[in-house]
A and B are shown apart, each in its own frame.
Chain A
Amino acid sequence: MTMLLTTYLEKSYRRVPDKVAITDGETEWTFARLRGFAAAGARSLSGFGNAPVAVVMDKSPLAIAVFLAVLYSGRAYVPLSKDLGAARINAVLSNVEPTVVVTDDAEFSRGLTYDCAVLEASQIGSADAELPDSADAEPLDLPDTSTAFILHTSGSTGVPKCVPLSHRNAVTCVESLSRILDASEDSRFGVQVPLTGVAAVKDVYLSLKLGATLVLLPKTLFVTPVKLVEFLNAQRVDTLMWVASALSLVSRLGTFGTVKPEHLRNVTFTGEPMNPEQLRVWKSALPHVKFYNHYGHTEVCACSAYFAVGDSVPDVIPVGRHVPNTGLMIIADDGTEVTAPGVEGELYISGSRVAAGYYNDPERTAQSFVRNPLHSRFPDIVYKTGDLAKYNLDGDIVLTSRRDHLINLMGYRIELGELELQACKSDGVQAACAVHDSARTRIVLFYVGAAEESALRAHLKLALPSYMLPQRVVRLQTLPMTVTGKTDRMKLADMAKEY
C-alpha cells in the first residue's frame, strides 16, 4: 500500500475517532472532526487546479486542519504566517505561484501584492463539529513522491529558498522518529515550534500516526515561563520537541525553582546547539526524563541524526548517529569518506528523506543536491549539508562549524548573509556584517556608512521577517579585517558581547 501522510489520519480516525487530536487549551479537535474538515475542505479546493495552496494562518488547530484539507485534495500546502511580513510572503508566493491562499485574515491576504483567490479558512470545511463527521474521504491515488508541502528557508542571496517535500520524505521522517522516541497513543506533544518550519512535521504527523494529542503552545506563553510550565502541567504534556533556545529560556530564568513540568517523559532539542549548562539544569530538575539532541535540515525533512543524552552532559553535545532509514557520511576535502575519529569533513545525508531539490532553482539545487561523492556509477543524489563534522572517540558525529553563516534562532533558520545583503541595500550603508551572539540568543549587526541606525532598522523591518531582525545595530568607522583581507567575524563576535 502507498504510504501517504493522509493514511495516518485515516487510520487514527478509524481507531480513535472521538479522541482529541489537537488542542490549544481553548478549542479541541477530535480525529473525527479533523478528518471531516479535511474531507469537506478538499472538496472546496477542487476548483483551483493542481497548483500548491498557500496557507497564511496563525498557529492554531484550524491551521493544521487546513493543511490536511489540502493534502486530502491531493495538492501541496505552503505554510506561511503573518509574522513573516508581507515582503517575505510575497517573495515565496511569487516563487511557488499558488492559485489560492487559504487564510484566517482575509484582509491581510488580500493586501498582498501577489494576486490570487483568497479563501477564509473557516469556510473551506465546516468548523461545525457535528456536520462533517459523516463526510466521506475519497482515497487518494497518488504516488508517494507527490509533494506534500513546500517550506521556505532563508537564502544568502536574499531570495528565500523553497523546499518541496514529498509524502515519502515526510513519512520517512515520521517512521524513523517513531522508532527512536518513546511515544504512544497516550502521548501529549507540547508544540513550541512554528507550523511554518520543518520541525513541526515531527510533532504534527507523529502525533497523527500514533493517535496521540497535539497541544499547541501559544507563543505568548514563552514570555511568562512560570505560566508556560503550569500550562504544560494542566495539559499533561509528556513530550517536548523544542528548539534549544526555547528550552534554555525556561531554565535560564530559574523557572524550576517555582514550578516543574510534572508529566514529561521525552525532551528533544533541535535547531541550534544546546547550551550544556542549561541542559544540566533541565536534567537535574527532571532526572527521570529522557533527553535527545535532534539534528536536521529542511532539505532532509527534519531529524536525520540523534543523540540520547546519558547521565553526564558532555561540554559539546554530539549530533550523534543516523536515525533509522537514513545515511550519514563525512567526506574529507580529497573526496574520500572519513571513518577515523577526529578527522574533519563535510556531512552528507542520503535516503528517502532527501528532498528532490529547491523549487524553481536549478542553480542552488545543483550546489546542494549532489551525486554521491563516493561513486559515479549512476545518479545517486545526496544532500550536501554545509556542516563540517567529525567522529568522536565514541563513534558519534560532532559538528565543528559551518561552511557558511547559517544560524538558528528560536527555531528559525537565518542566513546572516541575507541580513547583510539587505542592510547593504539600505541608503548610506557601505558594508555590513551580522554576528550571532549565542550566549544572549541574539543577532548583532555591525555596519559602516552615513545611514542613521533608525533608518537602517526601518529598511530592514520592511524587507525581512521579524525573526531575522537584529536585536542590536551598531555603527562602526570600519569593519575589522583579517590578515587575508576578509571581514574578521571572530573579532566582531567578540565585540558583540560589549553591546
Chain B
Amino acid sequence: MDRLIATLLRVNPDIDYASENALISDHVLESLDLITLVYELYSEYQIQLGAEDLTAENFDSAERILQFIELKRS
C-alpha cells in the first residue's frame, strides 16, 4: 500500500489517499490528474489502463486501486 500511496502522491500531492474513498465519485481527481495517473501506474506497475477501466468502482479509493492493479496483473 505504501508503494501505491507514493505513486498516487506523484499524481496529486494534495489528496489524502489514506482516507479518501470517493476519488472519482466526488471528482477529487481531475482530468489532468488522470493522464498522470495512467502514466504513473504504467511506469510503476507496468499496467495499461483503458478508458473502460476508469470507473468509480476501480478508482474511488487507494484500496480499490490496489485491488484493481492486482486483478490487472494476475
For the complex, what is the distance from the CA of A97 to the CA of B72, rounded to whole Å?
55
Determine the main DSSP class of B at the interface with A.
helix
- Distance in Å: Cβ of A413 to nearest Cβ of chain B: 15
**Contact partner, A223, options B10, B13, B31, Cβ 8 Å:** B31
Report yes or no: A249 in contact with B52, Cβ–Cβ below 8 A.
no
Q: Which of A215-229 contact B (CB under 8 A)?
A: 219-220, 222-226
Q: How far is the CA of A255 from the CA of B51 in the complex (A)?
A: 5
Q: Nearest CB to that of B11 among chain A residues?
A: A471
Q: Mark B22-40 against chain A: 1 for CB-CB distance below 8 A, else 0.
A: 0010010111111110110
Interface residues of A in 413-439 (CB under 8 A from B): none
Would you give the 0/1 interface string for A246-269, flagging 1 where the beta carbon is closer than 8 Å to chain B? 100110111101100000000000
User: Assuming A223-B24, A223-B27, A440-B39, is B32 touching A250 (CB within 8 A)?
Assistant: no
Judge whether B54 is part of the interface by a CB distance below 8 angstroms.
yes
Identify which of B29, B32, B34, B38 gathers the most chain A CB atoms within 10 Å of its CB.
Answer: B32
Q: Are the CB atoms of A253 and B50 closer together than 8 Å? A: yes
Supposing A253-B49, A472-B10 touch, asked if A225 and B54 sit within 8 A by C-beta, the answer is: yes
- A471→B32 contact, CB < 8 A: yes
A-B contact count (CB 8 A): 68
Query: Does A198 belong to the interface (CB within 8 Å)?
Result: no
A442 to B33 CA separation, bound complex (whole angstroms)? 9
A409 at the interface (CB under 8 A from B): yes
Q: How far is the CA of A410 from the CA of B32 in the complex (A)?
A: 8
Q: CB-CB < 8 A to B36: which residues of A?
A: 440, 442, 471
In the complex, whether A457 has a CB less than 8 A from a CB of chain B is: yes
Pair B30/A253 contact, Cβ less than 8 Å: no
CB<8 Å pairs between A and B, sample of 30: A219-B30, A219-B31, A223-B24, A223-B27, A223-B31, A223-B34, A224-B55, A224-B56, A225-B51, A226-B54, A249-B31, A249-B35, A250-B51, A253-B38, A253-B49, A253-B51, A254-B51, A257-B50, A258-B50, A258-B51, A258-B52, A410-B32, A440-B39, A441-B32, A442-B35, A442-B36, A457-B13, A461-B14, A471-B11, A471-B33
Which residues does B use to contact A, with CB under 8 Å?
10-14, 24, 27, 29-36, 38-39, 49-52, 54-56
